Amino acid sequence: MKKKKWIISERDDSLAKELSQKLGIPYLTATVLAGRGLKTPEQAASFMDSSLNSVFDPFLLTDMQKAADTIEESIRLGEKIAIYGDYDVDGVTATCIMIRYLRSRGADCTYYIPDRLGEGYGLNLSAIKTLYEEGCRLLITVDSGITAVPEAEYAESLGLKLIITDHHECKEVLPSACAVINPRREGEKYPFHELAGVGVAFKLICALEKNRPCKEMLDLYSDVVAVGTIADVMPLCSENRAIVSYGLKMLPFTKNPGLRALMQKLGLGSKTMNANSVSFVMAPRINAAGRLGVASIAARMFLTDDPEEASSLADELCELNRLRQDEENQIFTEITEKLKDAPELTHGKILVLWGENWHNGVIGIVSSRLSDRYGIPCILVSLDGDSGKGSGRSIKGFNLYAALEKSSGLLEKFGGHELAVGLSLDRSNLTALKEALEKYAEEYTSEVDISPSINVDCRVEASEITVPSIKGLSVLEPFGMGNPQPLFVMNDMRVEEITPISHERHIKLQLSKDGVTFYGFVFGMGMKSCQFVKGDKLDVAFSAEINNYRGRDSVQLVVKDLKWSESEEKSDSESYSAYLDFISGKEITPDTAAHLSPTKNELISVFRHIKANAAGSILSDSVRSVYRKIKYESQGSLSLGRFLVCMDVFSEFSIFSYSLNDDDISITVNEYEGKADINGSTALRRLNELRQR
């Protein structure tokens, strides 16, 4: 597992003091703003502004007037209008606000969301034909369509008018349509290019209601627009910040029966909403429908006016999400168990794996989890007969789309961007694709460092992490892409307790520093994968939240990463250097020899731990984690160097064999009969001689 680099902003205390005083904000908040490059009070105030001043005139978007005129004519003529959406949250919410608006105008309208598993993303000829045969004479795409050149030509040949609204990257040739609205169009003069698909749809509605104040339109639609924008991980700055801020305030009072029912099911009904509530609680439930091929359930929930139906559909979404989690966890467990037996697969520069009938709707999530866990790009391919459909996720600095382009001859179809891709290929090309991608990654990473990293706002001391200071960070909300939740690092925190939670899927840490106790949660790390033990000193990267329990507020830490403190690192480094000197035959002092000489009890402890924890016959973990766990279990003073001497002793007698790869150790328990007299070990005998000099 690769370590993450911590990119920590330097503190500018004088600037933070100025921002705090002139803007009337807490010092910790001002420190974060200063670290993010906001050098003046004016810049900081502009960044924090979430007023409606940032909501721009929709007619600044190219072709907006054409689109509005075309829709108005269709409504006047009584033509049937179809909204063509997408199966993710952005696409579903965009579809539903357009349908609700058109229905409010008395329009004859319907919607179509393609099946992720059967049809895939975007416009397709069969759907266009079906909609035309059903009487539709105007087709409006939302969150899709910008690359649908042949599909647009087919619609035109039928006499089906087409309006495209999208926010994805444009190609050199745009589809032929009555109007093409996309803030990313080349030469686009609209002031903000980062609208979500639902944001573009909202701007179209605003254009159609040009005589109504912006606030009225936000009152009607901003709750749903906020959900789609946050879920699509769009930058929460400028216009998005204004719309999402307004929408989050509206969510607790939403008049949308489906949205209200879902919030109630999730325990969010009476809570102040933030972007995390949408990202990590609501969005996965809505997305689950599309991932499992039934996005229409989510659409029906947003469109129904019947509270009972809304409640039933919200229940269905929650159940679909549970099924999605089961599918995801089953694939993830299958793969991680395989990687335990073959840890060398994770030592490369890219991970390419395939399996029979993995669910196409969830392998992207599993790819993301594996990429995050092992710090390398990952592509998973689900096989069905001779065909394979894959999904990949990358890490910052490695363009996975470019890697596929180099191997395009092996693929039937591929698409995506730097960090996420989809692909299809023939089963016979799997091995060749794997080898080609591994070669590309090896050559690419020999020139570029693509180690995973996290950006930290600043180092803090225990005295700075208080309830008032963390509450003060709320003026920076909503948090998301482009405005992440502040991340801090505290050094030399001592581990007091480690407790498994949620069926051992996560852990809770009791940490202390300078007499202050903190509770931190490490999500996705169970006890088996936890490298740390009670008594360790750690540097911890975390975001902080307010926990209210029985009316009492306290700070809780959400741990993003953690590593042994510099003092622990120094001790391990010195011990390892002494070990390297010893095995290379260099002269070492009697004191160093004593440091490296294991006791009988330590040898027994190492033997027992490995035998007890090897899965099958293999134990793979961080070498420092293994020795520290043994040290804690035996309540002794085992060091890194002494542990490696123990491993060499057991290797001499073929009891265990092991290999080191950076910080990771892979230990194999060999079949051994009889009893070994380890007192005859060459390593132990030489250490004893060196101690007596």
> Could you count the other beta carbons within 10 Å of the beta carbon of residue 412?
13
What's the pLDDT score for residue 409?
A: 92
What's the pLDDT score for residue 393?
A: 93
| Banded pLDDT at 468 (limits 50, 70, 90) | very high
Mean pLDDT of 266-281: 86
Q: Does residue 445 carry a pLDDT above 80?
A: no
pLDDT 10s digits, 67-78: 999 999 999 999
Strand partners, 354: 381
Q: Does residue 2 carry a pLDDT above 70?
A: no
Strands 136-141 and 80-84: parallel
| DSSP one-letter string for 592-621 | HHHHH---HHHHHHHHHHHHHH-BTTEEEE
pLDDT 10s digits, 479-517: 988 899 999 999 999 999 999 998 888 999 999 999 999
**158 Cβ contact list (under 8 Å, min separation 6):** 128, 129, 132
Q: Does residue 44 carry a pLDDT above 70?
A: yes
Q: Give the span between the Cα atoms of 312 and 316, in whole angstroms.
A: 6
pLDDT 10s digits, 143-171: 999 989 999 999 999 999 999 999 988 88
What's the pLDDT score for residue 10?
A: 92
What's the pLDDT score for residue 426?
A: 94
Per the CB < 8 A criterion, the answer to whether 644 and 579 are in contact is yes
What's the pLDDT score for residue 443?
A: 86
Q: Does residue 269 carry a pLDDT above 90?
A: no
Indicate left, alpha or beta for 39 from its phi (over 0: left) and psi (-120 to 50: alpha): alpha
pLDDT 10s digits, 101-150: 999 999 999 999 998 877 777 899 999 999 999 999 999 999 999 989 99
CATH number of this structure's domain 567-691, picked from the four choices 3.40.640.10, 3.30.559.10, 3.30.930.10, 1.10.10.10: 1.10.10.10
| Banded pLDDT at 342 (limits 50, 70, 90) | confident
What's the pLDDT score for residue 270?
A: 65
pLDDT 10s digits, 230-268: 999 899 999 999 999 999 999 999 999 999 999 999 998
How far does CA 217 lie from the centroid of its chain? Answer: 32
Residue in this structure with the two tokens 């989510």, named with its chain if needed: 298
| Banded pLDDT at 417 (limits 50, 70, 90) | confident
Q: DSSP assignment, residue 394? A: -
What are the boundaries of each domain within the chain? Answer: 54-251, 342-451, 567-691
Mean pLDDT: which of 280-289, 418-427, 671-680 is highest? 280-289
Q: Which among 347, 419, 361, 428 is positioned nearest to 390, based on CA atoms?
A: 361
What's the pLDDT score for residue 415?
A: 77
Q: Give the span between the Cα atoms of 124 and 117, in whole angstroms.
A: 14
> Could you count the other beta carbons within 10 Å of the beta carbon of residue 166?
27
What's the pLDDT score for residue 1?
A: 54
Q: Which two tokens stand for residue 49?
A: 């502004």
Question: Phi and psi for 655 in degrees, rounded to 5?
Answer: -75, -50
The average confidence (pLDDT) of the chain is 92
Q: Give the span between the Cα atoms of 357 and 271, in whole angstroms.
A: 41
Per the CB < 8 A criterion, the answer to whether 667 and 656 are in contact is yes
Q: Give the span between the Cα atoms of 399 and 535, in whole angstroms.
A: 41
Higher pLDDT, 268 or 615: 268
pLDDT 10s digits, 360-397: 889 999 999 999 888 899 999 999 999 999 999 998 88
Mean pLDDT of 452-481: 94
Range 54-251 classified under CATH 3.90.1640.30: yes
Q: Which among 243, 238, 252 is positioned nearest to 221, based on CA atoms?
A: 243
What's the pLDDT score for residue 397?
A: 84
pLDDT 10s digits, 78-101: 999 999 999 899 999 999 999 999
CATH number of this structure's domain 342-451, picked from the four choices 3.10.310.30, 3.40.50.720, 3.40.190.10, 3.40.640.10: 3.10.310.30
pLDDT 10s digits, 286-306: 999 988 888 999 999 999 999
pTM above 0.95, yes or no: no
What's the pLDDT score for residue 590?
A: 93
The sign of the CA dihedral 162, 166, 168, 173 is positive
